[in-house]
Amino acid sequence: MKKFVVLLMVLVMGFSVFANGKTETAPAAATAAPAEKVQVNWWTHWSGSMADPLKEFIAEFNAMQDKYQVNYVYQGTSLDVIGKLQSTQKNELPAMFTGATECVGYFADADFVIPIQEFIDKDPDTNLDPDKLFSISRTGYCDRTGKMIGYPACNSFPGIYVNLDMFEAAGIDPYTSLDTIEDIYDVCKKMVDGGYAKTGIGFHSDAYWIAMVLSTQGVPAFDGNDGWTSEVTKCVYNEEPTKSALESLLGTLQKLYKEGYGIPYGTDINVELIPRFAAGEFPILQCTTGFYNKIMLAGAKFKIDLLPLFGCNDDRVHEGVPAGGCGSFIVDNGNPEAQQGAYEFIKYMAQPENNARFAMATGYLPQTQAAVDTPKYQDYLNNTFPAARNALKTQAEGDGSIRNPLAPIANEHKEANAILITTITNDPNYNVDKAIDEATVRLTEAVELFNLSK
């Protein structure tokens, strides 16, 4: 028995040393048999009911042609998707993935992404015309040379939902009174002190909107003009003009929370903010177009509109906001056929009718005027989501100079902004300049770490 066990252990140890599996080979060509379709794996973070429209598109695309088979593969959150892409061997990579707009700065630099511009340039009959996209969407997916890295699937317009009935009762015109954070404070104060609302405003705790407010203001978060003229090397939160803008934003927010006009920052938007907003407890809710359905499902019975995000102060340069949402990116997995299949599928999704369908199913905004003008989307605007008209108008009028930072640390940026805003709103006595300096250090370290790792 003893000898048997010893022999077994030696065999197991020997197996573990030599069981290296197959060496890295070129990816198995998806042309093993002529009748087999080329597998186009699509890694995405969309899941649950958000994935239903995607699966419909996939089924349609797969049925209408016999060359490519697109496969939906859920891979966790958008962070998980990026992490897995970074760690996976080339031959195991998918053909395409879904990535957030604010991460385009990272994708432009990533060795696993093939800019979609390369496919567009080789396809004279393509329907993927970047010039037909809304300017902010085009800019949102470009690198600093103007080359399209990915293609937008949707725009998640960040703005502020307003309860028009409450504004009317208080005698305030929301369309002219919510331009800056100071205006927001004044309106909240008037509404609450006048007895028109229990509290003033609720913010989506996901801090993406802070970077967008800075973009709207026209001030950079990083050097190199936010990465658009040269590579990012540091955060410039504590340098003018960004510092003054942040002081205005954070100082006013701190005052607003100190005086009790805001729902505590960090409150869950699904569990508390939306039900309370729908119940008419407060007049302003900061979030995105994707939440409109939820607000309606929560029983909102008042007239509602979606306005663009506010600026930091009167020095605000832009009226609109940069692009949000997600896009499709093609992966360098060593399989040109699968990559082409990914490109063909992106083309299919980008057709105006399909872009409109996706927008209607998810609450995001379409990417082209042609999609907005489709009869079905017009009907949707008239009967289901009239509040989107303002957002669409802002989106259409926004020029390409309103853009997200082209920085490779989008997630760290969001995290640092979340810490910044939570610190300021939770502690009414926290020094704003100190908080800005801390955020600057945090972000500069993140940039330096990223640049070191390249």
Partner 1 sequence: MIMNKNRTKKIAKRTISYVLKLALGIIFIMPLIFAVCYSIKPESLITVTPPNFFTKTPTLEHFKWVLVNLPFLNYIKNSFIVCIISIVCQVVFASLAAYAFAFFDFKGKGFFFTFAITAMMIPADIVIIINYATIQKWGLVNTYLGLAFPTLISGTSVFMMRQYYLTIPKSIKDAAVIDGCSDMRFLFKIAIPLSVPTIASLSLYLFVIIYNLFLWPLLVTNTETRRTVQIGMSMLVTSERIEYGPLLAGAVCCILPVVLVFLFGQDYIVKGMVAGAVKG
Does 396 contact partner 1 by CB under 8 A? no
**Three-state DSSP class for residue 289:** helix
Strand 326-331 and strand 151-152: pairing?
antiparallel
Does 301 contact partner 1 by CB under 8 A? no
Please give the biggest Cα pair distance in the chain.
92
* 283 closest CA partner among 421, 393, 189, 209: 189
Of 249-278, which residues contact partner 1 (CB under 8 A)? 270-271, 274-276
Does 450 contact partner 1 by CB under 8 A? no
**Least distance to partner 1 from the beta carbon of 76, Å?**
5
Distance (Å, rounded) from C-alpha 273 to C-alpha 206?
A: 13
Q: Which is nearer to partner 1, 9 or 317 (CB)?
A: 9
CB atoms under 10 Å from CB of 7, counted, come to 10
Does 335 contact partner 1 by CB under 8 A? no
Q: Which is nearer to partner 1, 5 or 63 (CB)?
A: 5
Out of 24, 193, 314, 448, point to the residue binding partner 1 (CB under 8 A): 24
- DSSP secondary structure letters along 359-411: HHHHS-B-SBHHHHTSHHHHHHHHHT-TTHHHHHHHHHH--TT------S-HH
Q: Which is nearer to partner 1, 29 or 73 (CB)?
A: 73
Q: Which is nearer to partner 1, 88 or 225 (CB)?
A: 88
Does 299 contact partner 1 by CB under 8 A? yes
The answer to whether 104 touches 328, Cβ cutoff 8 Å, is no
Distance (Å, rounded) from C-alpha 224 to C-alpha 317?
A: 19
Does 453 contact partner 1 by CB under 8 A? no
Of 45-84, which residues contact partner 1 (CB under 8 A)? 45-52, 73-78, 80, 84
Q: Which is nearer to partner 1, 236 or 306 (CB)?
A: 306
Out of 15, 17, 21, 26, point to the residue binding partner 1 (CB under 8 A): 21
The answer to whether 387 touches 290, Cβ cutoff 8 Å, is no
**Least distance to partner 1 from the beta carbon of 387, Å?**
16
> Dihedral sign, CA of 72, 53, 402, 116?
positive
Does 241 contact partner 1 by CB under 8 A? no
Does 27 contact partner 1 by CB under 8 A? no
Does 414 contact partner 1 by CB under 8 A? no
Q: Which is nearer to partner 1, 302 or 430 (CB)?
A: 302
* 184 closest CA partner among 44, 279, 316: 316
Does 129 contact partner 1 by CB under 8 A? no
Q: Is 158 exposed, middle or buried (0-12, 13-18, 19+ CB in 10 A)?
A: buried
| Cβ-proximal residues to 238 (8 Å cutoff; 6+ apart), any chain | 433, 436, 437, 440
Does 23 contact partner 1 by CB under 8 A? yes
Q: Count residues binding partner 1 (CB under 8 A).
A: 48
Sites of contact with partner 1 (CB under 8 A): 1-2, 5, 9, 19-24, 41, 45-52, 73-78, 80, 84, 87-89, 92, 94, 156, 206, 270-271, 274-276, 288, 290-291, 293-294, 297-299, 363
